[in-house]
Amino acid sequence: MISLFRKNKEIVVKSPFEGEIVDIVKVQDPTFSSKLLGDGVAVIPSSNIALAPCDGKITQIFYTNHAFSITTENGLEVLVHIGLDTVNLKGEGFKRLVEVGSIVKKGRAIIEVDFDYIKSMGKDTITPIVITNMDIVKNMIKNYEDREKILRVKIKK
């Protein structure tokens, strides 16, 4: 009976970049557009520093620095994948600003990106922001207008 009165924790996810927010289904990569890794949104960046989209622990930064994951204290896992096929750049154009295991607050600089270089290599800069453990999500509201609140996620716990 007590569990009926427990409030679901809402996590507000911020865009890691300034820019236009679009639906994940518009990403020109079926891994993201088909929601194979999870659901979310994407941003077409107009700034060059990837910021922490929420408070949490940096649980993964790919060795090429093109993507990172952050896990909230409630266990929500958020993946930020900078650009498409950018793993093929082997880390060129990306500078890591924090290390795996770092506890960060929303808005903390995580990766510096040279988007001019990425574009010159023919890569799309669109950046998916994906909740990778949708099994713990009770509901999620997507917002394409306010970069401070691109996702509002209630978890089941």
Catalytic residues: 81
- How many angstroms separate the first and last alpha carbons of the chain? 15
* Torsion sign across C-alpha atoms 13, 39, 103, 82: negative
In the block, tokens 């607050």 appear at: 105
3-state class of 86 per DSSP? Answer: helix
Q: Determine the Cα–Cα distance for residues 21 and 23; give it in Å rounded to an integer.
A: 7
Q: 9, 156 in Cβ contact below 8 A?
A: no
